[in-house]
Structure 1
Amino acid sequence: MDEKTLKENLQVQLDELETLEAMFYNPGEIKIEDPLTLLEIKEYVDGNSVDVPLCLDYAINLVIDGAKFELCVSLSHEYPYIEPELFVRNNQLNRDQHISLNKKIGEFVSDLPKGEPCIFTTISWLQDNASEYVELDSDETTSHTNDKDEELVRYWIYSHHIYSKTKRKAIIDLANQMKITGFVMPGKPGIICVEGVSSDVVEWWQSIKSMNWKKIFCKTTESNKEELKAQNFIKFHGFIEKVFDNHGPKYNHMDMGEFYKYLEEHELGYIFKDIFGVEAKTT
């Protein structure tokens, strides 16, 4: 993308955000994830900086029929010509309702014309339709239990990068909601480890990989069938974001030595070569 196009796209994003801030002006209704990034975008668009800024992330808090919703928004530099990354959260929704709502909102945005801002249109759709998902009969949704006889699996997922706060929230929130354990390491590359009951992990993976990614794939899988004792298979308690000392021009490359130590602490050091194709440097 040339500089002129990038500046035009960023100006559209700033104009749209300004319109939204005029509509949702009460404290806490709009939250900019990183105010410094917003400032850098403005400086770049105005020609006061030559450094390409990071992408814009913000969240809009809505009350719809008495229920609180948070719409997390992440805009790539190509927006509005490609779809925004969106994720809706609501504590009243169970995981199936959550997945269904986010899938539907993704389909809605995909059908909108490209090249035009669409966040307000998406908010309007959410205001018109969100209550249907809150009111879903819980008996109609699928419930998975951690049956000790069901296979346990661990997925190792590799992404070209994981920067977006929207995606990072979605990864963590959905994992916690589904009682999946593991971690996500953001940056470049991005690594995700998820472990739990096979049906839950598969459902989580299907939901996450349906988001817009430059490159993401499951590098390798493990199961408790390969373990002598299934109770020793699960290595993590809960699901967290794990950030190591970073470096690089944008401080987005994680320290692989620290990452390897972290794996070793959880008896998973052997997987480093499977993920990266090289042995870890231990010195």
Structure 2
Amino acid sequence: MDTTFVNSRQLQWEELSLLIAMFVGNEFQWVGDEDQIESWKSVIDNFNLVQTTIRNLEEIPPFRFRLSLDINNSWINVFLPLRYPKVQPECYFSSDNVNRQTWTEINSEIEMKVKELNINDECCIFELYQHTKSYLIEKFSQTTLSDYDDNKNEKEKTSLQLSRILIWTHHLLSLEKRKNICQWAEELGLWGFSKPGYPGIIIVEGLDDKVHEYILRLKSLRWQAITVRSEQIEPLDLEEQNYGERVKIRLGRSKPGVTELETMSEISAKMRKADLEEMFMSAMKINKK
């Protein structure tokens, strides 16, 4: 049996299982005909059974899928050769809302980044996704900022936004990370709660700019995987000084901060009490019976 080939398929399965868990709904899409998609779904669900023979693994077509970048209806498209990550993946950007020049620039960036990430024959799709999304945000902000600055400033004078997010991580065990989660929430004036373990869950609420600063700080830490699974935004009047009274997930706290909970059922109960159960159920891909 070709152990190198089997190991490659094992690594692909692990990476894809993680991506599928991270991306909600149509954010992850298989790209292929019905038979191919069915075989891919089957191998993801039953890999330990499928890998019993090398022949079974060879019969499964190379994985093809795409991930939503959440910007201008754009996607990163991925083809994993049978011996990926030993063999470099094929990845490209697509969107109906960018011109040819922009499309070429973004794909050139992706090509360079793939070579950089795959140099050690390691799985790299999530890192490539994060890099591409950051590149897009920077590029589109540069091209549109001057056009919309006046309108943006005018809007900021009349209203603020209250933001509520649910962050999913592959796991949350590090005591240092748990300390940061609590300290940064207090510093930024955010209310919420978190659950350590597998997976890690962090839910916070506060002023929109402070919430996004919180996200950036968390993502600057080393994670196996981290993603914002859900976000809700509510408008606030500029005169509304006591916006904390509008926060739904205060958990009885008089001051901002994050409270640690031990189980998913505790989170579900707290979200239900705050009338946010649907947000939690949807983000965690739980079908309410």
**TM-score after normalising by structure 1:** 0.43
User: What's the TM-score, normalizing by structure 2?
Assistant: 0.42
* Larger relative helix fraction: 2
Work out which structure has the larger RCO, using CA pairs closer than 8 Å and 6 or more positions apart in sequence.
Answer: 2
